[in-house]
Amino acid sequence: MNQYLSKQVADLKPSGIRKFFDLAAQMDDVISLGVGEPDFVTPWTFIEQSFHALEQGYTSYTENAGMIELREQISGYLNKNYNLDYQPDDQVIVTVGASQAIDLALRTIVNPGDEVIVVEPSFVAYVPAISLAGGTPVTIQTKAEDAFKLKPEQIEEAITPKTKAIMLCNPNNPTGTFLTKEELEPLAEVIEQHDLLVLSDEIYAELTYDENYTSFPSIARMKERTILISGFSKAFAMTGWRLGYATGPAELISAMVKIHQYTMMCAPTMAQHAALEALKNGRQSLQDMVDSYKQRRNFIVSSLNEIGLDCPNPGGAFYAFPSIQATGLTSAEFAEELLQEEQVAVVPGDVFGANGEGYIRCSYATSLKQLDEAMERMKRFVAKRLEKKPVHLEASN
Amino acid sequence: MMEHEVELLKLIEKNANLSVNKLAKLMGKKPAEIEEMIAHLEEKKAILGYSTLIDWAKVANEEEVTAMVDVKVTPARGVGFDKVAERIYRFPEVKAVYLMSGAYDLSVSVRGSTMMEIGHFISEKLSTLESVLSTTTHFVLKKYKHDGIILEDEDDDDKRIVVSP
């Protein structure tokens, strides 16, 4: 049947995560640090509100852009938290997860041949989503010695006459790297100079632990060239509800609504009701989860460093991204052998981009008990490798 | 109280079994700092003890009965309800005593191994106290949740897929 596939889809590479998932899924007693979603179940009050809405008969479509009450809440939330000013009626769209918002944004702005910059290591969906939208992904490789922080000169180097936009993700999946206002501003300067659009994926914005978060469009003159993408999945522990949103200039958002109305109609109604409750009454639940992530971040980072895997302190998201170079293994070897020997699943760093080689992604969105056990197992695993490779250990210090 | 003291208290309130080393790692502090904080909090009686939540229904021959008793009392001049509350809370059978607003004065939680034992305590000891005017006893039939912990959470395994982006 392959001859029937569109060329674009046939050329699309399967995700490296998928392969690893198949391997891990066959095994028993796996402790997974490979999960890119919260371990918390959605707070009960959101679930209960969704029940209530269903009982009341809210089972039909909503407006294409999402319920106006929800768009008002999103607008108010962004205003309160990040000092942003978006009109609920034409600058906010509610989507099926942030993933759909990324897809809509790209299809809205990309002409065939347009280049869109992706900053690697990155979330695995950006590159394929750009290709599917008919664009050409151009990747920037951030450097380990810069703590995987994007530098303005790296954007300069990647820009060509065809560059249309850049995708940013702050805090970043998979590295947990967090960019402060002072670090974002020089990037904004280059972006303005070259008249680029920005797709700013801020799904992890609430999950930052040490410093205040700066939303990219809140930087001077960036709002008019930024589509802000976020959602409820990570901060509110609502991944399965599939609910995200995008905000931006009215012309761009209404163009996104146009695609959305023909391809999706609207985001699920019951999920929109749960999200409404999350924004109205979810602050304490969110804060409790953030406190817990921060503690586990502290725990996993100090444990990984003790084990002998060099791991900088990630400022946000729920991922640690330690170097495994001291073991002398590749990322894929490390992840596969660790899974086989100790039944701990981590994601090899190279699936997030070539510069992720030499690193693994460990999600700490897992109970402390599981994390503790995973660290014990990894300690055993790494100790065996370091015995064999004493030279590497010295070299890494 | 300092912010990190509150953080420490919240952690051990949920799980008193966390070791000093683990607490230190979670809070990004040194073990010695944690020990010092705990000693300080114990000294000023912010920390009163460390207990374990046990579902005694799961332990053979150790079943227990709990009654919540609404007690109406006459307060005494000068000491209000405190004196009579003390007379009541000194009994080891009494696990909790609260002064309540509303229809009665003291809410007393009594624990024993049989209903008979509790009945005996209430009729012999509690209701015969001079300042006690009346008691209304409610026996607990089933515990669903205690101190924030759900007792029969059968279905709490991780439902997430093993690896996701």
Sorted by where each begins, the domain ranges of chain A are 2-42+284-396, 44-281
As a whole number, mean pLDDT of residues B32-49 equals 96
Least confident of B84-98, B115-129, B150-164: B150-164
Contacting residues of B for A20, CB less than 8 Å apart: 163
CA–CA separation, A128 and A250 (whole Å): 26
The arithmetic mean of pLDDT across residues B29-51, rounded, is: 96
Burial A341-355 (b: 16+ CB within 10 A, else e): ebbbbbbbbbbbbeb
Could you tell me which of B162, B56, B35 has the C-alpha nearest to residue A37? B162
Q: Hunting for tokens 């702050």 — which residue is that?
A: A170
Average pLDDT value over all residues in chain B: 93
Q: What share of chain A is helix, strand, coil (3-state, %, to 5)?
A: 50, 15, 35
Residue A14: per-residue pLDDT:
84
If pLDDT is split at 50, 70 and 90, which confidence band does B57 have? confident
A124–B165 C-beta distance less than 8 A: yes
Chosen CATH of B56-142 out of 1.10.3720.10, 3.40.718.10, 3.40.50.620, 3.30.70.920: 3.30.70.920
Q: Kindly tell me if the per-residue pLDDT of A392 is higher than 70.
A: no
DSSP string of A52-108, one letter each residue: HHHHTT--S---TT--HHHHHHHHHHHHHHH-----TTTSEEEESHHHHHHHHHHHH
How many Å is the Cα radius of gyration of chain A? Answer: 21
- Smallest CA-to-CA distance from A306 within A389, A369, A380 is with A380
**Per-residue pLDDT at A137 exceeds 70:** yes
Confidence class for position A393, pLDDT limits 50, 70, 90 = very low
With bands split at pLDDT 50, 70 and 90, how would you rate the model's confidence at B58? confident
pLDDT by residue (tens digit) across B62-118? 788 999 999 999 998 888 999 999 999 999 999 999 999 999 999 999 999 999 999
- For B26, which of A25, A34, A298 is closest by C-beta distance? A298
Q: Tell me, yes or no, if the two domains A2-42+284-396 and A44-281 fold the same way.
A: no
Q: At A199, phi and psi to the nearest 5?
A: -105, 105
- Residue A215 predicted with pLDDT over 70: yes
Chain B residues in contact with A44 (beta carbon < 8 A) = none
A295/B27 Cβ within 8 A = yes
Nearest to A363 by CA among A353, A374, A350, A355: A374
Residue A270 vs residues A47, A309, B57, B159: alpha-carbon distances, Å: 9, 44, 39, 21
Partners of A291 on chain B (C-beta within 8 Å) are 7, 10
Distance CA A183, CA A316 (A): 15
Cα distance from A42 to chain B (closest Cα, Å)?
12
What three-state secondary structure class fits B120? helix
> Are A396 and A325 spatial neighbours (Cβ–Cβ below 8 Å)?
yes
Classified by CATH at the fold level, domain A44-281 comes out as Aspartate Aminotransferase; domain 2 (3.40.640)
Quick check: B92 contacting A, CB < 8 Å? Answer: no
* Extended beta strands in B48-159, E state: 65-73, 94-99, 106-112, 132-139, 145-146, 149-150
Per-residue pLDDT tens for A89-123?
999 999 999 999 999 999 999 999 999 999 999 99
Q: Taking a C-beta distance cutoff of 8 angstroms, is the pair A232, A275 a contact?
A: yes
Q: Answer whether residue A235 shows pLDDT above 60.
A: yes
Mean pLDDT lowest among A133-142, A158-167, A383-392, B150-159: A383-392
Is pLDDT of A262 > 70? yes
**Residue in chain B lying closest to A38 (CA):** B160
Which residues in chain A (1-40) have CB-CB distances under 8 A to chain B?
Answer: 15, 17, 20-21, 24-25, 30, 32, 34-37, 39
Tokens 């191994």 sit at which residue?
B113
How many angstroms separate the CA atoms of A44 and A285, rounded? Answer: 9
**Nearest to residue B25, comparing CAs of A270, A307, A176?**
A307
Give the number of residues written for chain B.
Answer: 165
Q: By the 8 A CB rule, do B140 and B66 touch?
A: yes
Give the pLDDT of residue A395: 43
Inter-chain residue contact A17 with B22, CB threshold 8 Å = no
C-alpha A120/C-alpha A124 separation (Å) is 9
Q: What pLDDT is attached to residue A261?
A: 97
Whether A180 shows a pLDDT value over 90: the answer reads yes
Q: Where do runs of H (alpha helix) occur along chain B?
A: 3-14, 20-27, 31-43, 82-89, 115-121
Q: Which residues contact B51 (CB under 8 A, 6 or more apart)?
A: B16
The pLDDT confidence band at residue A176, using thresholds 50, 70 and 90, is very high
Question: To which residue do tokens 């000491």 refer?
Answer: B79
Domain B3-43 -> CATH class: mainly alpha
Q: Give chain B's radius of gyration (CA, Å).
A: 21
Interval A281-323: pLDDT, tens:
999 999 999 999 999 999 999 999 999 999 999 999 999 999 9
Chain B stretch 27-46, residues whose beta carbon is closer than 8 A to a beta carbon of chain A? 27-28
**What is the secondary structure of A27-61 as a DSSP string?**
-SSPEE----S-SSPPPHHHHHHHHHHHHTT--S-
Q: If pLDDT is split at 50, 70 and 90, which confidence band does A185 have?
A: very high
Q: How far apart are CA A121 and CA A171, in angstroms?
A: 12
ipTM: 0.85
Class of domain A2-42+284-396: alpha beta
Pairing of strands B149-150, B132-139: unpaired
Q: Which of A173, A241, A338, A368 to mutate to test the interface with B (most CBs of B within 10 A)?
A: A368
Tell me the shortest Cα–Cα distance from A88 to chain B, in angstroms. 30
In this prediction, residue A397 carries a pLDDT of 40
**Which chain A residues are closer than 8 Å to B25 by Cβ?**
298-299, 302-303
**Cis omega (within 30 of 0) on the bond before A186?**
no
The strands making up A136-141's β-sheet, listed across from edge to edge, are A92-95, A244-247, A226-231, A197-201, A163-169, A115-120, A136-141
- Which of A13, A32, A301, A373 to mutate to probe the B interface, most B CBs <10 Å? A32
Where does the pLDDT of residue A389 fall: very low under 50, low under 70, confident under 90, or very high at 90 and above? low
Domain ranges of chain B: 3-43, 56-142
Higher pLDDT, A23 or A154: A154
* Helix, strand, or coil (residue B152): coil
Summarised one tens digit per residue, pLDDT across range A186-198 is 999 999 999 999 9
Q: How confident is the model at residue A390, as a pLDDT? A: 53
The mean predicted confidence, pLDDT, of chain A is 95
Average pLDDT over residues A364-380: 97
Higher pLDDT, A11 or A151: A151
Give the pLDDT score at A254: 98
Q: Reply yes or no on whether the pLDDT at A346 is more than 90.
A: yes
Tokens encoding A348: 């090899």
Cβ of residue B9 closer than 8 Å to a chain A Cβ: no
Q: What is the mean pLDDT of residues A35-51?
A: 96
Question: In which band, very low, low, confident or very high, does the pLDDT at A21 lie, cut at 50, 70 and 90?
Answer: confident
How would you list the strands of the sheet with A360-363, edge to edge? A319-320, A360-363, A347-348
pLDDT band at A394 (very low <50, low <70, confident <90, very high): very low
For the beta carbon of residue A128, count every other beta carbon within 10 angstroms: 18
pLDDT at residue A17, as a whole number: 81
Residue A387, pLDDT score: 83
Strand partners, B30: none
Question: In the structure, what pLDDT confidence band is assigned to residue B153 with cuts at 50, 70 and 90?
Answer: confident
